[in-house]
Structure 1
Amino acid sequence: MRSTAQLYPPRYDDADEIRDRLHDSLVAFLEAAEIPKEMWTFYFWVSGIAEPSEMFQDGVSNGEADRFVVLYTTNIGLAGHSTGLVYDQRTHRATMALGIEDLDFSQPPEQHSDLWHPLETVLTQWIEMIRIGKITASPEDEGDGDDSDERVGSEEGDAAGNRIEKATNEKLGPWTWHAYSATQVDSAVAASNRLASAIESRMPEGSLLPESASPLLRDADLDAAAVPANCFIRSFLTHIRPPRFSTIAPGLLVPHDAARFARQQRFTRMDYASADDGQHIIPPVLIFSAEGDRTVNFDSDSRYISHNPFCRAFADGVPAGDHSVPAGLYSESVERTAVDNAEEGFRLLLPYCLREAGQEDSGAKKSDGGYVEKKSVADLFQHGFKPFGGEWWRAQRLERLFDRWRELVESRVWAVCETGVQGSIDIFKDADTTRTRDYWIAPSW
Structure 2
Amino acid sequence: MGHAPEDLHLVTWYEFHVQNVNKASGELSKELLGFLKGAYDLGGVHHFHYYASGLLYPGDDMFAFLDQICGYKEHQVNIYDGYHRRLKSRKLRRSDQHTNTAIMCMSIHDTDGLCQPDRINWLPLEDILAAWLDMLRVGKVKAEPPGVGSIRYYSNKFDPWILLQYSNKQLEEAVSVFDSLVTAIESRMPQLDPDIRALNVTMFDQETLTSAKIPRGFVFEFPRKVRQPRFRFIAPGLDVATPQSISNQPFFNLVRL
- Counterparts of 2:247 and 2:133 in 1: how far apart (Å)? 41
TM-score normalised according to structure 2 size: 0.79
Deviation at 1:254, TM superposition (A): 1.6
Change (3 A) 1:38 1:55: closer
Bigger mean CA offset, 207-216 vs 217-226: 207-216
- Counterparts of 1:28 and 1:93 in 2: how far apart (Å)? 14
- Counterparts of 1:262 and 1:46 in 2: how far apart (Å)? 39
Number of residue-to-residue matches in the alignment: 237
Q: CA RMSD in A?
A: 2.9
Once the two structures are aligned, what percentage of the paired residues are identical? Answer: 28
Provide, for residues 346-389 of structure 1, a one-character-per-residue CA deviation record: whole Å limited to 9, x for no partner.
xxxxxxxxxxxxxxxxxxxxxxxxxxxxxxxxxxxxxxxxxxxx
- Counterparts of 2:218 and 2:109 in 1: how far apart (Å)? 33
Higher RCO structure (Cα 8 Å, ≥6 apart): 1
Unaligned runs of 5+ in 1: 147-165, 271-313, 318-334, 336-445
Corresponding position of 1:24: 30
The answer to whether the 8 Å contact 2:100/2:124 transfers is yes
- Counterparts of 1:88 and 1:108 in 2: how far apart (Å)? 16
Deviation at 1:95, TM superposition (A): 0.7
- Counterparts of 2:160 and 2:13 in 1: how far apart (Å)? 29
Deviation at 1:126, TM superposition (A): 0.5
Secondary structure of the structure 1 residue equivalent to 2:204:
coil
- Partner amino acid for 2:88? L
- Counterparts of 2:13 and 2:171 in 1: how far apart (Å)? 46
State yes or no: 1:237 paired with 2:223: yes
Corresponding position of 1:117: 123
- Counterparts of 1:226 and 1:179 in 2: how far apart (Å)? 19
- Counterparts of 1:106 and 1:187 in 2: how far apart (Å)? 34
Bigger mean CA offset, 125-134 vs 88-97: 88-97
Q: Identify the match of residue 217 of structure 1 among 186, 189, 204.
A: 204
Corresponding position of 1:206: 191
Secondary structure of the structure 2 residue equivalent to 1:66:
coil
Secondary structure of the structure 1 residue equivalent to 2:111:
helix
State yes or no: 1:35 paired with 2:19: no
- Structure with greater helix share of residues: 2
- Partner amino acid for 1:96? M
State yes or no: 1:93 paired with 2:101: yes
- Counterparts of 1:122 and 1:19 in 2: how far apart (Å)? 23
Corresponding position of 1:179: 165
Change (3 A) 1:171 1:28: same
The answer to whether the 8 Å contact 1:50/1:71 transfers is yes
* Segments of 4+ moved more than 4 angstroms: 60-65, 207-211
Change (3 A) 1:263 1:6: closer
- Counterparts of 1:95 and 1:56 in 2: how far apart (Å)? 15
| Superposed counterparts of 1:161-200, under 5 Å | 166-200=152-186
The answer to whether the 8 Å contact 2:101/2:124 transfers is yes
- Partner amino acid for 2:29? H
Corresponding position of 1:127: 133
TM-score normalised according to structure 1 size: 0.48
Corresponding position of 1:84: 87
The answer to whether the 8 Å contact 2:171/2:218 transfers is yes
State yes or no: 1:70 paired with 2:70: no
Deviation at 1:170, TM superposition (A): 3.1
Change (3 A) 1:94 1:263: closer
